[in-house]
Structures are given as structure tokens and as C-alpha cells.
Chains A and B, each alone.
Chain A
């Protein structure tokens, strides 16, 4: 499960921030995950708990909010915009699995539904990032 690696990334980053900012206790972490990341939130939450475990003092009362951002794709050729969640329905299990590992393989398996071009951009819904970290000094 590579959710673990990403959960670990979130906590590693939080620890760095806490150290730089001199935070003694973290109260809230807001994480945004793009839909294209095809993260299993349940597994991600489970992994977060496991990764947080050794950081009892700092993260004991930390609430982690996970927000999902829907993925929108836009064709470079005909400018058509479409939703990832509609496009992904037609993919095979292996193709979905590829997306789970590297969301950019969307370019390998998806095409513009209007003109069939593989040249489209991901205008939103890609990646994982930390929106905010709150805590006390």
C-alpha cells in the first residue's frame, strides 16, 4: 500500500514544520488530496495513525482533516473539459491500478472524450499537499 508512503510524507513534513516553527503541540493538519491520486482514504487514515504513533507528545491531540479535490481534465486541442471520475469508469482494473501508482499514466490510458486526443492537461485534482498546520508554541 503506497498510501503509507504518502502518510509518512505528511507526518515527516509536519515534524519538520513543527521543529522549524518551535511548535510543542499540533492541533490540526489539513491535507488536500487530488482525486487523480486515487488514494483509499480509509487506508490512508489507518496509515496516518500508524505513522503518528511514535510522535505521541506532539501529535496526541492532532486532528487531521482530509479534503478531496475533484480532478478536472482539459483537452489541449479542442479545449473540452471533463471530469476524471466519469472518465475513469471505463478503465480496466490494471489501468486503474497504474493510475493509483502514477496518476500521470492518465495520459497513457485516457483520451479526450470529444476529439480523442491524448494531449490534455490536468487543471486540478493532482497531487497531495498540506494546506495548513496549526499548533501551539
Chain B
């Protein structure tokens, strides 16, 4: 019997909501959404934690500009350090800039270990930056943190949608609560400047049906479509600077989505 698994519920008992930000593939802005989501909720006055469980490519610390990561304090477990009001924990505190060549079983073990020993204290939201895809770590987190509600990120790319559909199917089968899907990195030059995209033909080129089709595909699963975020060329430049980040159109779009989520699912 692994006593670590038994104690995880207890460690998370004062956390009101656990939101897992997931995506089928890497490079679709999952970590950007997770980090900015934590920042937005914190700015709204909520008590927020951010847990980067993307061990193969931890990047939340880069997006939020956290450089002085150190060992967390120890007090009846480990206590995450706070940055910009966000309690933050990532494998980066332990591995620094070194690569962590972990196989599935190791990732599972490390995830269980961290969940068992971390004292998050009382939080309104714990945001989890999930590993990409549906590997061991994702399945473990689903199994172990039954309360985790998922936000799934996709881009308009066909490859991204295909993998996201697989993720959604799995989440539904496992009866995991899904808050909804966000479509990230839409191209403004292709789609008009309105969230209600109208189908258009430009010259004799093809129909741009991508945006609508994602919305439709998501709805076909009976899963809420939370909204779209346009590709923001200023985002790259804001990485590592939370003030800049918070003022990007990326963050503003995400904020509208957050408000919508909170309206539909208020914190109990």
C-alpha cells in the first residue's frame, strides 16, 4: 500500500477548485494559458497556486519570469514559495536548468511524491500545468486527483484538433469533469476581428471554416467551447515580465474567458 496516495486528498482538502490545463500536443500555448490563468485569478483577489507538472518541458517559471527558484521551505512537508501572490511549485526548483530524462514510471512517482508532501494550505484555485498528451502522468493525475476539472487547449491546426479529440474522448470515458475547450493562436489575418466568425471566401481560395469547425466539433462532444484567443505577436516579448504579460491581448482574451467560466461555475 502506497501511503502517499492515501494522503493526497488530505493535502488538497483546503483547495476549493483544482483546474488542470491540458492539451493534446506541445507548443500550443498550454503553459502560457496555465500561467496567465493563475495570474489573472490572483489579480482578481483569489488565493491561487500554480503547479507545473509538465516535467519534460517545464516553462511556467519562464513565462512568469521566476528566476530565483530555490528549494521550497520545509514545514511538515514542503511549502511552495510565493511569486506575485501565486504559490508556485515546479520540478525546476529541484532540477534547475538541467534536463530531467524521466520515463513514465518516474514521472508518476515524482508526481505522487510532490502531491503527497506539498502543503498548499488554503487556496481558491490550484492551477495545474499538465504534461502534454495522455501519457502515464496525465492518467495518474486523473486517477489521483478526482476533483481536477479540465480546460483543454487546442490550436486551429488539424493536427492539434485530432489529438485534442482523442484527449476529450478519453476524459469523457473516464468521467472527468471538463470545464471546456479554448482555441488558442487563431490568426487574425485569416479570421475577422470578431469572436463570431463568419465564413468567408477570399478570391478563389478555400473556405476558412476552421474556427467554426472546432467550435462545432467540441459541441458535438457536448463539451462547452470557452472561446478563442488570437495569436498575439506581442506575447513573445512579454514572456518573463508579468506586467507586460497581463496587458497583452492574449491575457485580455483569456480574462474574458475566465469571467465566463466563473459566471458559470462559481467557487463554492
Select the residue from B77, B94, B106, B110 with max chain A CB neighbours within 10 A: B94
Given known pairs A128-B3, A130-B3, the reply for A5 and B76 (CB within 8 Å) is yes
The answer, yes or no, to whether B168 is at the interface (CB within 8 Å) is no
User: Is there an interface contact between A108 and B95, defined as CB atoms closer than 8 Å?
Assistant: yes
A to B contact number (C-beta, < 8 Å): 105
* Among listed B24-32, B35-43, B97-105, B175-183, interface-contacting one: B97-105
A58, CB-defined interface residue at 8 Å: no
| Residues 88-134 of A contacting B (Cβ, < 8 Å) | 97-98, 101-105, 107-109, 118-119, 121-122, 126-130
Distance in angstroms between the alpha carbons of A5 and B115 in the assembled complex? 10
Asked whether any CB of chain B lies closer than 8 Å to the CB of A13, the reply is yes
> Residue B262 at the A interface, CB < 8 A?
no
- Given the complex of chains A and B, what is the CA–CA distance between A84 and B91 in angstroms? 21
Tell me, in angstroms, the Cα distance from A2 to B80 when the chains sit together. Answer: 12
Bin the interface of chain A by size: 20 to 34
Q: How far is the CA of A102 from the CA of B94 in the complex (A)?
A: 7
Q: Say yes or no: A128-B74 contact (C-beta < 8 A), given A8-B7, A102-B114, A104-B100.
A: no
Contacts of A2 in B (CB 8 A): 74, 77-78, 117
| Residue A4 lies at the interface, judged by CB distance under 8 Å to chain B | yes
For residue A80, give the distance in angstroms from its CB to the closest CB of chain B: 17
Q: Say whether A4 contacts B76, CB under 8 Å.
A: yes
Cβ–Cβ < 8 Å partners of A9 in chain B: 3-4, 6-7, 116
Task: List residues of chain A with CB within 8 A of the CB of B116.
Answer: 5-6, 9
From known contacts A101-B71, A102-B91, infer whether A107 and B106 are also in contact, taking CB-CB under 8 Å: yes
Q: Is the CB of B2 within 8 A of A128?
A: yes
Asked if A122 contacts B10 (CB within 8 A), the reply is no
Minimum CB–CB distance from A100 to chain B (whole Å) comes to 9
With both beta carbons as reference points, the residue of chain B lying nearest to A4 in the complex is identified as B76
Would you call B1 an interface residue if the criterion is a C-beta within 8 Å of the partner chain's C-beta atoms? yes
By a CB distance below 8 angstroms, the chain B residues around A6 are 3-4, 116-117
Cross-chain contact B71 with A103 (CB below 8 angstroms): no
- List 3 A-B pairs, minimum CB-CB distance, nearest first: A5-B77, A9-B7, A9-B3
Write the residues of chain A forming the contact surface with B, with a CB cutoff of 8 angstroms: 1-2, 4-6, 8-10, 12-13, 16-17, 31, 97-98, 101-105, 107-109, 118-119, 121-122, 126-130
Interface residues of B (CB under 8 A from A): 1-4, 6-7, 10-11, 71-72, 74-78, 91, 93-95, 98-103, 105-107, 109-110, 113-114, 116-119
